Every structure is written in structure tokens, then in C-alpha cells.
Chain A
Amino acid sequence: MKLSKETEAIQNSLALYCRSGVEPPIPVSRPESLPQYRRLVFNIVLNTMQQAFPIAYKNIPGSEWKDLVHEFFLNHDSQTPQVWKLPFEFYQFVSQNNYSKSLKKPFLDDLLFFEWIEIEVHTMPDIEVTKHKTEGNLFTDILVLNPEFKLFKLNYPVHIHPPEKATELKDDYFVIAYRHPNDLTVRFLNLSILHTFIIEKLIEEKYTLNQIIDDTIGLFKINKNELIINISTFLNDLFNQRLILGYKI
């Protein structure tokens, strides 16, 4: 339903007041109640961020965290009307404005992103799975991945260690988050670059494992037997974890 211009202006004015604290140029029947709106709306945003980023919340001193959320509340024009998506905009806001530098928390962008990913994967729309069978040959059939996943790279291992420890371990970390088809929980795997390479090949659903092994040896210059043994173990584990669902038909 489209609002009248006047209603829209009043709403915008009230919203601006809630964010900035500058009194709105609109007639108010109970001016003493106005600050309560501001308090309540801010608390919703604060609480949303607290729930979305529990690790960040516990690792950033209370006043700093509240200030950060307040900066976001004040300066960011939210693009989404859906409250559950607001944490992603918070991550973007923090990342784009380099708060990790100003707060001297280099892990911050990675941590917020990592914590957001769980929400994103959990709420992602269902994706149709490629037709597959459960019996097949690991090496000569094309493997079918569970399509409800997100593969990403972090600079700090915030998915393994508390932030202060992760800060000392800057490197390239590869992680896959996926939605388990049975219980719909989001699960995480920490991967090496080799596993990441193999998973990216599997995503294309064009190559058999034998082809992928040849590519991998060419790129990583690894002993073939060692590679076959290790990759078989890895892929069988992915079957158990339901990240690989079967063999393409």
C-alpha cells in the first residue's frame, strides 16, 4: 500500500529522530514519549547485532560495541526492510569504513563476515540438487555437491580461534559453510588450498576425480599416490558430512 506524502514525511521525520536524536518538526501529542521510541528502536538494532555476532559481541568491550552499533544506526541508511538482513549491512558498514583499523581490531571484518555467513547459509533459498544416484565410482563418475553452501576465504582464523589469538595468525584460510540436508544446521569445514581447489573443480560438475587429480598434480606438484590416498579420505568424509550427495546421472 502506497503511503500519502504527508504520512511518508512524518514517518521519515520520526525515523530520523530515532536515529539522530534531533527533534522532529512534527506535532506530537505526547512529546515525553518520543525518547522511548528512540530507545526501543535502537535496542532492537543493538539486540539484532548481538544475536547475529555473538563472538564479536563478546570480544569487543561493551561501550565500544554499543558505540559501533550506534554509529551504524546513525550513519547508515538501511537498504533492507528485513531486520534479519541488517547484520549484513552492519558488516558492510564496518568493513567499508575501516573500523577494524580505527578500533585496532584487524580481525573484525573477517569475524563479522564469518558470523554473518551462518545466517546467510541458514536462510538461503532452497537450491535444486543435480540429479544423482547414491552408488557409483569415486574416480570415474562426476560427483554432485550439496548446492547449499558458501565457500570463502579469511585472512584471520576467526573460525578456529578466539579473535585475539587469530590476530597473530594472519594467513590465507579457506572455509566452506553448508546447510546440512537432514537437520538444516549450518556446518563448517576448514580447508587447505588443495581441498579448496578440488571443491571448486567439483562445483563445476564437469570433471571426474581422475581428471581433477591430473590437474591437481600439475598445479601442486604432489606425489600421485599420496594425493589419491588423501583425496579419497577427504571425499569420503564429505559424503559422510553430506556435502557430497552422490554421483551425477
Chain B
Amino acid sequence: MENKSNKKASILKGAILTGVIAGLTPLSANSSALFSYNVLGSGAEVRTQILEEKSVSGTVYELKCGSEKEESKKKKSETKKGEATKAKKGKSTEAKCGEGKCGEGKSGAEKKEGKSEEKKKGESKSTEAKCGEGKCGVE
């Protein structure tokens, strides 16, 4: 049944075909567009790509909350605080993370980082929430 319906279905027939192909002529001038295709990968990969692109354009620093741990600790000893905050200008919660209150030093904090990293893979919101809930920066 499905096979037959797949075989019957045409998304290019009729008006679409006429419209789109008529709109493309002369095609030889634009052959690179005609030959380009993208292997997008699995559904999970597509989702990750789209959601990451979204977060890069908007809320990238929220995702970084809790993940800077070692790196940020080292940098902080070398870098002036002013520079760090300059790089992380934005929302107040982001600034808090950027200033290094999030996950700094303590063993309890490390556990929290582990948790938030796990969740980060699936949901950026959970990491946001951690900052908002006050776990981030709790001494």
C-alpha cells in the first residue's frame, strides 16, 4: 500500500512543476544550484544543528553555564575580571556564569556541573533554569 502511494505521489507534478521550472529558465545559468544537495543526517543531528544555530545567534552564553569549569578557572587566574565580563556582556544570569560563580571549585559544584552537562545535550533550557534557580553561584 505504502509503496504504491509513494510511487504515485509526485511533488513536482502540475502547477508546481510548471511554476518552478518555468521560474528557473534559463537553467544553465544557475546549474550550481541545481546540482547542490545536502546530506542532513539523522533527525537528531538535524535538530541539534538547528537548535545550536539558534542558540549561537541568541543565547549561546546560557549554554555555557557550568561547562567552563577547568578552562575558565585557569583563564580567570590569568585574565582580568573585566575582560571576562566584557566577553560575556548580556543577561544578568549570563554575567553571573561568566564571572565564574557557577561551578567554581567545590566538590558539590562539580557534581552539579556533571548534571548540567548531561542535560545540556538534550535541553538548553535546563541549564538556563539552573542559573535561574540559584544553583549557579551558590557558595
**Residue positions of A touching B, CB distance < 8 A:** 54-55, 58-59, 118, 122, 124-125, 127-128, 147, 149-153, 158-162, 164-165, 172, 174, 180, 185-197, 200, 203-205, 219-223, 226, 230, 234, 237, 241
Interface size on B, residues (CB 8 A): 38
Give 8 pairs: A residue, B residue, CB < 8 Å, sorted on A: A186-B42, A189-B38, A196-B12, A197-B12, A204-B7, A221-B25, A223-B31, A230-B35
| Closest chain B residue to A183, Cβ basis | B42
Task: Assess whether B10 is interfacial by the CB under 8 Å rule.
Answer: yes
| Closest chain B residue to A130, Cβ basis | B3
Asked whether A188 lies within 8 Å of B47 as measured between CB atoms, the reply is: no
Asked whether A193 lies within 8 Å of B12 as measured between CB atoms, the reply is: yes
Chief secondary structure at chain A's binding surface: mixed
**Residue positions of B touching A, CB distance < 8 A:** 2-3, 6-7, 9-12, 16, 20-21, 24-28, 31, 33-44, 46-47, 49-51, 53-54, 57, 125
**Complex alpha-carbon distance, A148 and B116, angstroms:** 37
Asked whether B37 lies within 8 Å of A191 as measured between CB atoms, the reply is: yes
| Closest chain A residue to B31, Cβ basis | A222
Asked whether B46 lies within 8 Å of A221 as measured between CB atoms, the reply is: no
- A170 shortest CB reach to chain B, Å: 13
Chief secondary structure at chain B's binding surface: helix
Asked whether A194 lies within 8 Å of B34 as measured between CB atoms, the reply is: yes
User: Taking A55-B51, A219-B21 as contacts, is the C-beta distance between A200 and B34 under 8 angstroms?
Assistant: no
Asked whether B11 lies within 8 Å of A222 as measured between CB atoms, the reply is: no
**Complex alpha-carbon distance, A189 and B40, angstroms:** 5
Q: Which residues of B contact A234 (CB under 8 A)?
A: 35, 37
Q: Which residues of A contact B28 (CB under 8 A)?
A: 221-223
Asked whether A159 lies within 8 Å of B40 as measured between CB atoms, the reply is: yes
Asked whether B12 lies within 8 Å of A200 as measured between CB atoms, the reply is: yes
Asked whether A160 lies within 8 Å of B7 as measured between CB atoms, the reply is: no
Q: Which residues of A contact B39 (CB under 8 A)?
A: 187, 189, 237, 241
| Closest chain B residue to A205, Cβ basis | B7
15 more A-B residue pairs beyond the given contacts A187-B43, A222-B31, with a C-beta to C-beta distance below 8 A: A55-B47, A55-B51, A59-B54, A151-B11, A159-B50, A160-B38, A161-B50, A165-B57, A187-B39, A194-B35, A196-B11, A219-B21, A221-B27, A234-B35, A237-B39
| Closest chain B residue to A162, Cβ basis | B54
- A200 shortest CB reach to chain B, Å: 6
Asked whether A58 lies within 8 Å of B36 as measured between CB atoms, the reply is: no
| Closest chain A residue to B1, Cβ basis | A125
- B55 shortest CB reach to chain A, Å: 9
